[in-house]
């Protein structure tokens, strides 16, 4: 069964699925763009690796009651053996572990000049989460804004605060930013919500080149089909992160109408 949602499927935002969705979306974007851009451009999947130390971690909790176990006392006179006192129930804590983050993105490279013409980013939670990951991504983002490279930034995650832009106070769940070199500091921001189809957008290239239209909705639906998410997703489970009350009512009615929720 195809993606039951007209646009973004919020169940794909779950951590259980998102890393795979991100990878598959990068691959299918590359696959769809190559025939439209060769022989002038190369579409390359690149990767950056960095480490986040203790981000969003909790301090080690110290239980109020010490965990103790009495020694078993053997009475040499009596034939009865003392039974050890059961241990106090432990407290579950989370350790501030370091996290290695691997993020993939696309580069459109001019094969003649070897210059990066356009960068396509599909945001991950680490890019938006307050802390080191967001700071590092914003630094890279600002470098692109100060360069001769176009930027396409695709945000299909409702979690965390969106990346900063100026001139729009419209609240939307999802967004696509298209920043052309020759239009900065102005850029095109596509805003959409759960009931909306994902808007198609032109891919910025060098001036004078024909810009292919990226039909992200069709690509996401293809990822859904290829990965067999119709078999993997249980639509009776909670959506993570939770939807707004209005969206939750809408999504519930949609899934019940399609026989996917009891």
**Mean pLDDT value of segment 43-55:** 75
Element (H, E) at 45: strand 41-53
Picking from 126, 109, 127, the residue whose alpha carbon sits closest to that of residue 118 is: 109
Write out pLDDT tens, residues 145-158. Answer: 999 999 999 999 99
Whether the model clears a pTM of 0.85, i.e. scores above it, the answer is no
Picking from 192, 239, 238, the residue whose alpha carbon sits closest to that of residue 216 is: 192
**Mean pLDDT value of segment 165-177:** 90
Is it the case that residue 64 has pLDDT exceeding 50?
A: no
Residue 235 pLDDT grade (very low, low, confident, very high; cuts 50, 70, 90): very high
Q: Which two tokens stand for residue 238?
A: 């909670």
Residue 47 pLDDT grade (very low, low, confident, very high; cuts 50, 70, 90): confident
Is it the case that residue 79 has pLDDT exceeding 70?
A: no
* pLDDT score, position 73: 39
Q: Which two tokens stand for residue 255?
A: 């899934």
Top pLDDT among 58 and 79 is at 79
Q: Where are the domains of the chain?
A: 10-54+96-257
Among the residue ranges 74-88, 107-121, 194-208, the one predicted with the least confidence is 74-88
Phi, psi of 150 (to 5 degrees): -75, 155
% of the chain exceeding 90 in pLDDT: 72
* pLDDT score, position 72: 41
Write out pLDDT tens, residues 3-44. Answer: 999 999 999 999 999 999 999 999 999 999 999 999 999 999
Is it the case that residue 66 has pLDDT exceeding 60?
A: no
* pLDDT score, position 51: 66
CA distance 13 to 142: 26
* pLDDT score, position 65: 38
Mean pLDDT for the chain?
A: 87
- The three-class DSSP label of residue 241 is coil
* pLDDT score, position 58: 32
**Half-sphere exposure at residue 75, Cβ-oriented, CA atoms within 13 angstroms:** 7
Q: Which two tokens stand for residue 57?
A: 């971690």
- The three-class DSSP label of residue 205 is coil
């Amino acid at each position: 069964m195809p993606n039951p949602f007209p646009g973004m499927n919020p169940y794909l935002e779950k951590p259980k699925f998102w890393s795979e969705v991100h990878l598959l979306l990068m691959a299918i974007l590359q696959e769809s763009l190559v025939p439209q851009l060769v022989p002038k451009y190369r579409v390359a999947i690149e990767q950056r690796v960095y480490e986040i130390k203790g981000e969003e971690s909790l301090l080690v909790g110290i239980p109020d009651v010490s965990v103790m176990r009495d020694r078993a006392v053997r009475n040499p006179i009596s034939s009865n053996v003392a039974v050890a006192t059961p241990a106090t129930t432990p407290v579950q804590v989370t350790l501030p572990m370091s996290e290695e983050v691997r993020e993939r993105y696309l580069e459109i490279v001019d094969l003649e000049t070897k210059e990066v013409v356009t960068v396509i980013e599909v945001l991950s939670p680490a890019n938006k989460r307050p802390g080191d990951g967001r700071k590092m991504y914003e630094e890279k983002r600002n470098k692109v804004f100060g360069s001769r490279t176009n930027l396409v930034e695709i945000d299909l995650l409702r979690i965390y605060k969106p990346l900063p832009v100026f001139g729009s106070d419209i609240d939307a769940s999802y967004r696509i930013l298209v920043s052309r070199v020759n239009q900065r500091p102005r850029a095109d921001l596509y805003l959409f919500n759960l009931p909306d189809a994902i808007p198609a957008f032109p891919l910025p290239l060098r001036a004078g080149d024909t810009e292919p239209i990226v039909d992200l909705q069709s690509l996401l639906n293809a990822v859904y089909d290829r990965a067999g998410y119709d078999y993997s997703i249980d639509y009776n489970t909670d959506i993570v992160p939770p939807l707004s009350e209005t969206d939750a009512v809408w999504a519930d009615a949609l899934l019940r109408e399609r026989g996917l929720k009891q």
